[in-house]
C-alpha cells in the first residue's frame, strides 16, 4: 500500500526507521531488529540507504522486501542520489520495482569522499523528477527540516526549496529529528502558507547517548532546548537514567504533537526494538484511541 493512502485510512500514522547492518555484519542481523519491531505493529518501516558502494541500493531493497514479505509490514526504501549516476538510479528503481516495493524516500544524501563524485543529481528535487520520468508507480516521500536545512540560506529559502520538491512529485514528507515541538509547529505553519498540503510526519529520536545525540543534532541542524540540555547534563553519567529520561522526553513530545493535530509520528529506532517498545507501550492507549 502506498503511504499516502495510509493517511487517508488512518487518523494518525505511526512508523519506524531502521538501517542496514554495517559492512562487517551479516544482513541476517536485521532479523533480530525486525522481529522486535514487527510485534509493535507500525504502519510502515523505512529502511535507510546501504552504507555506500555499488551494492547499497540492493541491500536496502533486500531488507525492504523482507519487511514486506516476511513480516507483512509496508516498507519505504530510502534512495539517495548525490553519489549516483542516472544509470545507477535506474538500476535501483528496477530492483525496487522487482521486489514489489511501492514507497521510496527520495534523498540527496551525504557526500561520501570514498566514492567517485557524480554530477547527474545535485538536489533531491531532481531525483524526484527523474523517478517520475521513469514511468514507475512509486509513492515518493521526501525529507523536511523543521529548523531548515543546514545548508540553506534561511527558512524562507528552505520552504521554497521544499515546495519545489513537492511540486516535482513528492506525496508525503518525513521530518528530520527535532527536540522542541514549537519548531515543528512553526515549520508546519510555513509549509501551510507555502501551499504544501501533503501529509507530514514528525521525526522523533529518543535520547540514549549524549555524544550520539549531539552528533546527530549537528548533522541535521537541530537545536537543543534548555530543558533537553539540562536532562542530558543531569543524567549523562548514568546510562539507565539517561535512557529512561530520553524515553520520557520522546513520549512527551509524541503526546503533545498528536494532541495538537499532527497526523504522523516517525520514530528513529536506531535499530533498538527495546527502546521502541518502551515508547510504544507508553502510548498504547493513544494509538488505540486513534485506531478506533
Residue 153, C-beta contacts closer than 8 angstroms, at least 6 positions apart: none
Helices (H) and strands (E) in the chain, counts: 12, 8
For residue 130, give the 3-state DSSP assignment: helix
Beta strands in 37-87 (DSSP E): 44-47, 74-80
Bridge pairing between strands 139-144 and 172-177: parallel
Angstrom distance (rounded) from CA 83 to CA 116? 7
Please give the Cα distance from 181 to 117 (Å, whole number).
Answer: 37
CA distance 124 to 142: 8
- Is 51 buried (19+), middle (13-18) or exposed (0-12) by CB count in 10 A? middle
Name the phi and psi angles at 237, rounded to 5.
Answer: -95, 5
Q: Is 67 helix (H, G, I), strand (E, B) or coil?
A: helix
46 contacts 13 by C-beta, under 8 angstroms:
no
Residues forming the active site:
17
Contact yes or no for 270/205 (Cβ under 8 A): yes
The enclosing H or E element of 15 equals strand 13-18
d(CA 224, CA 13): 26
Cα four-point dihedral sign 209, 215, 221, 227: positive
Amino acid at each position: 500500500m502506498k503511504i499516502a493512502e495510509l493517511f487517508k485510512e488512518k487518523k494518525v500514522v505511526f512508523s519506524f526507521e531502521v538501517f542496514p547492518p554495517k559492512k562487517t555484519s551479516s544482513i541476517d542481523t536485521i532479523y533480530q531488529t525486525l522481529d522486535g519491531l514487527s510485534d509493535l505493529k507500525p504502519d510502515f518501516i523505512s529502511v535507510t540507504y546501504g552504507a555506500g558502494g555499488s551494492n547499497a541500493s540492493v541491500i536496502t531493497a533486500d531488507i525492504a522486501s523482507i519487511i514486506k514479505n516476511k513480516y507483512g509490514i509496508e516498507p519505504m526504501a530510502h534512495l539517495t542520489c548525490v553519489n549516483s549516476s542516472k544509470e545507477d538510479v535506474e538500476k535501483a528503481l528496477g530492483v525496487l520495482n522487482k521486489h514489489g516495493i511501492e514507497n521510496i524516500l527520495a534523498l540527496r544524501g551525504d557526500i561520501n569522499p570514498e566514492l567517485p563524485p557524480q554530477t547527474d543529481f545535485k538536489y533531491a528535487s531532481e531525483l524526484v523528477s527523474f523517478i517520475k520520468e521513469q514511468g514507475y508507480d512509486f509513492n515518493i516521500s521526501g525529507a523536511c527540516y523543521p529548523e531548515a536545512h543546514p545548508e540553506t540560506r534561511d527558512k524562507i529559502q528552505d520552504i521554497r526549496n521544499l515546495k519545489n520538491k513537492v511540486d516535482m512529485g513528492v506525496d508525503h514528507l518525513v521530518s528530520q529529528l527535532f527536540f522542541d515541538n514549537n519548531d515543528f509547529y512553526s515549520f508546519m505553519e510555513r509549509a501551510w502558507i507555502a501551499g504544501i498540503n501533503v501529509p507530514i510526519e514528525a521525526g522523533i529520536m529518543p535520547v540514549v547517548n549524549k555524544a550520539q545525540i549531539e552528533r546527530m543534532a549537528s548533522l541535521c541542524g537541530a537545536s537543543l532546548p534548555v530543558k533537553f540540555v539540562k536532562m542530558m547534563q543531569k543524567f549523562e553519567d548514568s546510562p539507565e537514567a539517561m535512557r529512561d529520561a530520553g524515553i520520557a522526553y520522546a513520549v512527551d513530545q509524541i503526546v503533545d504533537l498528536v494532541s495538537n493535530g499532527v497526523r504522523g509520528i516517525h520514530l528513529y529506532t536506531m535499530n533498538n526494538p527495546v527502546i521502541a517498545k518502551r515508547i510504544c507501550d507508553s502510548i498504547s492507549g493513544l494509538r488505540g484511541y486513534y485506531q478506533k
